[in-house]
A and B are shown apart, each in its own frame.
Chain A
Amino acid sequence: MKDDFGTYLALALLFTVLSFLSIGGAISALPEIHRQAVDISHWMTDREFVDLVAIAQAAPGPNVLFVTLIGQHVAGIPGALIATFFMCGPACVVAFFIARAFDRFKEKRWRIAVQAGLVPLSIGLVASVALIIARSADHDWKTMLITAATFALTYWTRISPLYALGAATALGVSGFL
């Protein structure tokens, strides 16, 4: 854990850039955060990264807050606050001023095209997120079975996925995995 000024600055810069690139939701930025935190800056191992994302999935709150956990793991509580602030702040200020002028372009064709055009990218990015997490989390038949069961429950039933997350955690705690 490095908590020097340089790390704070790197976090601030990374999350400012990513807040503008997280198309259709903060989760879209996850592949880039993974690349930076694990492969380039070596802030954490792949295993730690996936643990933190999993914890964030099981916790309440907007899903942007996985960056809080990432920031904290890199640079403690200041890191948590810096990551959260820069992932939300700069982009939201810009969003605020666009919203102010919104009536001027509400029905414009280019806005509809931009919005519709970002959907496929967002799908590709969320699929990438799923791959990054699955690649690290599914290392034997038991974990693969849990992934498949959670997928089935989420996809084919209206039962809250929280039950699957809870049951899988309980299985792990009891030493089955």
Chain B
Amino acid sequence: MSDRVESSPADSSPLTAPVALDVVIPTRTELFLGFFKVTMTGFGGVLSFARREFVLVRRWMSSDEFSDLFALCQFLPGPNIVNFGIIYGWRLYKFAGAAIALTGLLGPPVLLMILAGELYGRYGTMPVFRGGLTGLAAAAAGLLIATAVQMSEPLVRRERLAQAAVALAAFVTVGIMQWSIVWVLLALAPVSIGIAWRSAAIAGRGQP
């Protein structure tokens, strides 16, 4: 994580952070179009698409700034990219900015989903749709397995055995035994955060 924000005035938060001189400040229309493009081209999660569009193509923010803001949005409750739109939009145009970013981000794909849902409800049982969905679901399973493997690689590579054990416990209880995530998270989150707290102390990254 970069230390950009620390060099800004003491009263700054992600919502009021001053905009750097070397970036482009989008107009309200551009704000809408930017989020619209990211959401409509973003398949299987929009993170990589958002980074490309906002940092490289439109130059709304530096790469560090993007990473900082996105890390915050992952930490906060709620869908990451939705938080991202609200915070960035607010920073530019307060309530209107947040509303514009959200509309661009969620409006078009929600309409598309509703349309897809209507089609599924009407034609989902027709043989040709059944066949297509059988293939699509099998491919989606492969995509999800790849995501899970990719996510767990850092733990295995760095031999974070305790963290790997927590991940395995979550998988066994939720995936195999089908327990409610409410109880699993209540039980495992303190353990996992405790492990991270200790390794942060060993790494000497945090403040006491």
Contacts and interface: CB of A to CB of B under 8 A. Distances in A.
Contacts of B137: 50-51, 53-54, 133, 136-137, 143
Given A61-B42, A130-B148, A151-B145, A25 B80 contact: yes
B77 A117 contact: no
B120 to A, nearest CB: 6
B170 A125 contact: yes
Given A95-B78, A121-B189, A126 B151 contact: yes
Contacts of A90: 78
B199 A116 contact: yes
Interface in A107-137: 107-134, 136-137
Given A84-B106, A112-B206, A150 B117 contact: no
B128 interface: yes
B79 A25 contact: yes
A169 B120 contact: no
A169 B136 CA distance: 5
Q: Is the interface of B mostly helix, strand, loop or mixed?
A: helix
A91 B77 contact: yes
Given A59-B116, A88-B82, A103 B128 contact: no
B62 interface: no
Contacts of B175: 31, 124, 127-132
Interface string A37-76: 0010000000010111111111111111100110011000
Interface string B12-32: 111100000000000000000
A80 interface: yes
B79 A147 contact: no
Contact of B163 (A26, A32, A95, A119): A119
Classify chain B: how many residues form its interface, as a range.
35 or more
A17 B182 contact: yes
A17 B113 CA distance: 22
Q: Is the interface of A mostly helix, strand, loop or mixed?
A: helix
Interface in B176-202: 176, 178, 180-182, 185, 188-189, 192-197, 199-201
Contacts of A22: 78-79
B92 interface: no
Contacts of B166: 120-121, 124
A170 B192 CA distance: 43
B78 A121 contact: no
B106 A172 contact: no
Contacts of B87: 96, 99
B96 interface: no
A3 interface: no
Contact of A147 (B108, B133, B138, B192): B138
A131 to B, nearest CB: 4
Interface of A: 17, 19-26, 28-29, 31-32, 35, 39, 48, 50-65, 68-69, 72-73, 77, 80-81, 84, 87-88, 90-92, 94-96, 98-103, 106-134, 136-138, 143-144, 146-155, 160-162, 164-165, 167-177
Given A91-B76, A129-B148, 16 more contacts: A31-B175, A59-B116, A60-B39, A62-B42, A91-B77, A99-B72, A112-B206, A122-B151, A134-B145, A147-B145, A150-B138, A150-B140, A161-B139, A168-B139, A169-B133, A172-B136
Interchain residue pairs A-B with the least CB separation, the first 6: A124-B170, A109-B206, A61-B109, A150-B142, A172-B135, A128-B175
15 contacts: A35-B180, A55-B116, A55-B133, A59-B113, A65-B106, A73-B120, A95-B77, A103-B11, A106-B6, A113-B193, A115-B74, A146-B139, A170-B132, A172-B130, A177-B138
